Structure 1
Amino acid sequence: MKHLNFIDLFSGAGGLSEGFIKAGFKPIAHVEIDKKACDTLETRLVYHKLISENKTEKYYDYISEKITREEFIKNFGDSALSDSVINIPIGEDNNRIIFEKIDKLACGKQIDIIVGGPPCQAYSLVGRSRDKNRMKNDPRNFLYKEYAKFLKKYQPKVFVFENVMGLITAENGSYFKNMQAYFKRIGYELDYTIQKSEHFGVLQRRRRIILIGWQKGLGFQYPKFDQLNEEFTISQILSDLEKLNPGDQKNVTNYIKPTTKYLEKFELRNGVSFVTQHIARPHNERDLKIYKIAINKWLKKSERLKYPDLPTELKTHKNEKSFVDRYKVVDINGLSHTMVAHIAKDGHHYIYPDTKQVRSISVREAARIQSFPDDFYFEGGRSAAFRQIGNAVPPLMAFSIAKSIKEQLC
């Protein structure tokens, strides 16, 4: 069976790519502006290369800190793989350079599918609420036109465009309507659905637009995705990890309990005997006091802490009307609320649900909420890892989408 090749645009850390690779697609190139995310992509690509060579122990040597990253890339990577991660901003000034690099990597091979979604800040409800111009002048509103240039150039059979719900309502819906008309003008039929990540096994309430386009006359139909019937809770991804205090850095640590049904079913522990990046950010005494109030309120009454409810001595400003719900505890008996990149700035919105561990969630806990397997390593340090995780498409969701598309293309 011939490989189906893909390009990942606006790749981030590679959540979409991880799902497509697992489904049997072969990446030709990833294009991403964030250098630390590019390092993560390269590390993961070397991992997939070592799987094919039956040498995964070399990857585990790296993530367990037995060898340096320099040694790992030098000894087990290769130049073609490194070149396939293109750390250049997509846009009119750079597209020609990116095209040249992709052409060299493809060596005449057909690009079967293009995946990716431009940065969502310009479409998001939060982004618009914080900008006095409602993001109207943000150039990211029109990155779909840059995305379309790759469709024109490579003529993939199918493309997948993932983005936030706010895209539908941005500028009273005109952006989304114009986007769809634009894709149709360049030769694609398309459709979209709003998908819930929990239907794919992801333990968070995350709503995303999945727009899929296909060449006219291909005989393709918008796929039906398998939906999960079982219900799992956040408790199943926390119980086997070591307890942490604020600021603890368990770069490499052992599991303290056997695997759970969820971790086994979705292969998040995937056979590795240790876990990495179980790292908690430090907190000041005021935040810890607030977290404890928030945890007790949630666990005892299932109520969220609102800023006006705080004791006077813990308040730092007089505005009690804007962003009053910035302190939020993860629901241990249900699903997490949506994981977003703001977790890189502070942990207030992702408080660990236990009064015996008063802190925000760790890097590894956040990665599990996004359905990344435990051997997925995020480069660049704690803040960079949180940002990459928050921006990612959950790999479990990506895998289901990829699998459904592959069934029609093969």
Structure 2
Amino acid sequence: MIPNHYSAKLSDLDLAMAVHIPPGGNWKNIPTTIPSKRLAQIRESYAKGKGSRSTYYGRLRPDAPAYTINTYFGRPGNGCHLHYDYAGGQHRVISQREAARLQSFPDEFIFLGSRTAISTQIGNAVPPLLAYQIALHLGSPGLFVDLFSGAGGLALGFKWAGWQPVVANDIDRIALETYARNVDSSVIVGDIRNSEVFSQIVSRANTARQMNPSSKLFVLGGPPCQGFSTAGNTRSMQDERNSLFNNYKQFIEAINPDGFVFENVMGLLNMEGGHVFDQVKEALMAVTNQLTVWKLNAADYAIPQRRKRIILVGLQQNSKPILPPLPISDSNINSSISLPLPVTAYESLNDLPPLESGKDGDNLDYISLPFTDYQKLMRGYISPEQYLYAVKGKAEFF
């Protein structure tokens, strides 16, 4: 009844650590008497002043948004992924459904594939609710082609806003199966650097434009973020994934769309001292009349996750730079800005049934009716439009 509500099985050692970590706590709460080579490395690195590693073995706070949901949320040592309900004995990592909710995927969105594949799809996705607000900000809806689509976070948000998908492309076959099930069946599996794959995508885009001459056409997507991410081990142009923005540029040249939305991680800004970002900007400026750069935090847009991303928006029309969507919630819970507080982990997840480590809760039912507007959105009681209306109403009140 609740698809993908599975919490990864923890080792006895991880479970022994988890029981010592309170909400908002991390590796520093774990007694030194618990033997762990991983913890020893973290402590040694911390002692040398190489960062606090503050999210490692972290437990979510119920009264705050989650930290960035990465592809490793099934591992407590790779981020702040332990469930906030310490008092209730939830000594486990968040389930895949809980991670999907924190990403703003509705519960009816079913992820396909192995456990590992599902976690990868969730962690790599753009929050659909953020994509929805970007799409609304771009004016009247049109058509879109989705490159490096993954499971379809960007596409789902644009579809919510009335945009029509033309075709999606990704090298990950399983991710595209998820996309086809939940977003649109028109997908092309394969490497965009392959000339045949590239030509197929171009052909679909050109056909859609011919059949809908009065509709604007946009290109969505960004290259895989692992090479740019500060969480990755490789941060140089030697990583072949970091040249895929050139294929994105080539596709824009081939179909000449009305605009594009290029999404990536904040690590892109400082990679090789900013040199890589300069290359990306130069490449994209060559194929558009107007390029603007947005730095967005999902928590500012009523999404229960501190997820910072860079968005490059290209428009063929000559006009003033388009400003980013105005925040509708405040990502800083201690700020004095007159906006509603961000959506918290508790407000997002507390209607879902508890689990044990390694348990699959697909056959469990919700423990209550939705408590919050966000839960109503996740369970299909209200639409994204109605959710934003409710949030913005609170913002006006503030």
Could you tell me the TM-score, scaled by structure 1's length? Answer: 0.53
Aligned-partner Cα distance in 1 for 2:374–2:328: 18
SS in 1 for 2:374: helix
Aligned-partner Cα distance in 1 for 2:231–2:374: 32
1:175 to 276, 288, 296: 276
Aligned-partner Cα distance in 2 for 1:199–1:216: 28
Checking the alignment, whether the CA contact within 8 Å between 1:113 and 1:157 is kept in structure 2 is yes
Aligned-partner Cα distance in 2 for 1:135–1:91: 20
SS in 2 for 1:251: coil
2:255 to 154, 165, 189: 154
Within-5 A mapping of 1:6-17: 6-17=144-155
Aligned-partner Cα distance in 1 for 2:166–2:324: 24
Structure with higher helix content = 1
1:269 corresponds to which residue? 379
Q: Confirm whether residue 113 of structure 1 aligns to residue 218 of structure 2.
A: yes
**Cα 1:118–1:11, aligned 2, differ >3 Å: closer, same or farther?**
same
Count of paired positions:
236
Shift of 1:218: 5.5
Shift of 1:105: 5.2
Checking the alignment, whether the CA contact within 8 Å between 1:35 and 1:87 is kept in structure 2 is yes
1:36 to 164, 167, 174: 174
**Cα 1:2–1:209, aligned 2, differ >3 Å: closer, same or farther?**
closer
Aligned-partner Cα distance in 1 for 2:264–2:270: 12
Shift of 1:173: 0.8
1:96 to 194, 199, 205: 199
Checking the alignment, whether the CA contact within 8 Å between 1:111 and 1:154 is kept in structure 2 is no
SS in 2 for 1:38: helix
SS in 2 for 1:150: helix
Shift of 1:101: 3.9
2:164 corresponds to which residue? 26
Amino acid at match of 1:209: I
2:310 corresponds to which residue? 209
2:352 to 223, 241, 264: 241
Runs of 4+ with deviation above 6 angstroms: none
CA RMSD across the alignment: 2.8
SS in 2 for 1:125: coil
Could you tell me the TM-score, scaled by structure 2's length? Answer: 0.54
SS in 2 for 1:90: coil
2:79 corresponds to which residue? none
Q: Give aligned-pair identity as a percent.
A: 32
Shift of 1:157: 1.6
- Unpaired runs of 5+ residues, structure 1, are 46-80, 273-372, 374-394, 401-410
Checking the alignment, whether the CA contact within 8 Å between 1:157 and 1:218 is kept in structure 2 is no
Deviation digits for residues 331-378 of structure 1 (CA, Å, limit 9, x no counterpart): xxxxxxxxxxxxxxxxxxxxxxxxxxxxxxxxxxxxxxxxxx9xxxxx
Shift of 1:106: 5.0
Amino acid at match of 1:26: Q
Aligned-partner Cα distance in 2 for 1:126–1:249: 28
Aligned-partner Cα distance in 2 for 1:186–1:4: 20
Shift of 1:250: 2.0
SS in 1 for 2:269: helix
2:287 to 179, 186, 196: 186
- Unpaired runs of 5+ residues, structure 2, are 1-138, 330-338, 390-398
Aligned-partner Cα distance in 1 for 2:207–2:378: 35
Aligned-partner Cα distance in 1 for 2:321–2:211: 24
SS in 2 for 1:243: coil
Shift of 1:102: 3.7
2:301 to 187, 190, 200: 200
Shift of 1:180: 1.1
Aligned-partner Cα distance in 2 for 1:237–1:223: 25
Aligned-partner Cα distance in 1 for 2:140–2:344: 39
